[in-house]
Structure 1
Amino acid sequence: MQNSRRYGPTRRSFNGLALLTAAFALLAPPAFAQAAPSASGDPVTIVTLGDSLTAGYKLPREAAFTNQLEEALTAKGYAVDVPDTGVSGETTAGGLARLDWLLADKPDLVIVALGSNDGLRGVDPAATRENLDRILGKLQEKGVPAVLAGMMAPRNLGRQYQEAFDSIYPELAQKYSVPFYPFFLEGVAMVPELNQEDGMHPTAEGVTRITEGILPTVEQALNSIGATPGTSASAPGRAG
């Protein structure tokens, strides 16, 4: 299924914000609302708060992560809508800045997949941690279930930076008790045939590998909010 639109009724405003952001950017606990899906018949909306790795950098739209994830879940019997919400160049600070825009359309589940650009730019891990902490905290406050996809620091930045950065994700996943996929690029990073010429952005085949890897974690999150295969109702984890 090819998803050819931007997210939500405010898509024009979102597109403008996305361009501005890109220009400046070069398991669930009781606190997360979880009730049975409604009988509205609407698909479950899954929003990915991500960067070029989820936006499908230099790939046809149908090969992007959001489209491949939607197709994979649909093939398993889930009724889902996974709009294109990635912004190339996005940092954790940029993701935090646009989170309210994404929540305005009341998604049922948010996949947080940010941090790769923080690492590439050598952003202080303390700042990355703070941004991700605030993102997950706001999602919890709004009662929106989340999945956290981990990232790893570039190995050329030294052991101290690497350890400080890599520890962010498992520690925040534990703090907020969210479904956790340890490394978004698992099985793809440093594999030449699964990456484009720049060595950083996955090919369509690389995105397929990413999707296959994270799929069980996303299914876990969907099942926890009552969205099971064959269910066509919207989950209740709504931002208010």
Structure 2
Amino acid sequence: MAQAAPAIRILALGDSLTAGFGLAPEEAFPARLERALRAEGKDVSLINAGVSGDTTAGGKARLDWALAAKPQLAILELGANDGLRGLDPRLTHANLDSILKRFKAAGVPVLLTGMLAPPNYGKEFEAEFKAVFARLAAEHDVVFYPFFLDGVAGDPRLCLPDGLHPNAKGVDVIVERILPSVRKLLERGKP
């Protein structure tokens, strides 16, 4: 009797937006995305590699640990804390570029999610920061979702009281909006 193929392992490498800051584990983005994909009949297992407060440098530093889980696909959601701290967008680019190169070397297709900087650093910083993600997506030919918090950012009904992190309803909006991009990622992961 043939054994069923194991579930497709998708690594979600990110910060508090992935980790599920302020939420129960089953309300976090990876858990909700796994549930939505399974509801579509996709046999997937999401690995929550989100660490609250992480910058792109932090994600880069723990990439070996994340790759030890032997993911077949990855969702890369980092950069929000770089933007909040006003870190030089060139550093954000260099760190994400390094992470994307490592995923490519490991044969792991990636969905890169973009992020916007807060307006308090000025229009020039905002534009430079936003451009980092689109440029990396083009340079690495990865699936790209331009703004992870699309439809959620700034909506108090979808955010925790801090105004920065999505609540459970906000996570559901993120999952619904990102699903088409995740389906593209799954297509890229087919042998």
Does residue 174 of structure 2 align to residue 207 of structure 1? no
Of 144, 161, 165, which residue of structure 1 is paired with 2:108?
144
Q: C-alpha separation between the residues in 2 aligned to 1:114 and 1:128?
A: 9
Which digits, 9 at most, give the CA deviation of each residue in 1:148-179, with x for residues without a partner?
Answer: 00001111110111111000001100011101
Structure with bigger RCO (C-alpha 8 Å, 6+ apart): 1
- Deviation string, structure 1 residues 77-103 (Cα, Å, up to 9, x no partner): 100001222110010000000011111
Partner of 1:233: none
Where 1:90 maps in the other structure, the secondary structure is coil
Which residue type is aligned with residue 141 of structure 2?
Answer: S
Identity among equivalent positions (%) equals: 51
Counterparts of 1:118 and 1:40, CA distance in 2: 42
2:152 is matched with which residue? 188
Distance 2:83 2:75 in 1: 19
Match of 1:197 in 2: 161
Q: Is 1:132 equivalent to 2:96 in the alignment?
A: yes
2:36 matched residue in structure 1: 72
Q: Partners of 2:68 and 2:46 in 1: how far apart?
A: 16
Is 2:62 the partner of 1:81?
no
Aligned to 1:20: none
Q: Is the 8 A contact 2:109 2:188 kept in 1?
A: no
Could you say what secondary structure the match of 2:120 adopts?
Answer: coil
User: Number of paired residues?
Assistant: 189
RMSD: 1.1
Could you tell me which residue of structure 2 aligns to residue 59 of structure 1?
A: 23
Give unpaired runs (5+ residues) of structure 2.
Answer: none
Task: Tell me which amino acid in the other structure corresponds to 2:48.
Answer: D
What is the TM-score of this pair, normalised by structure 1?
A: 0.77
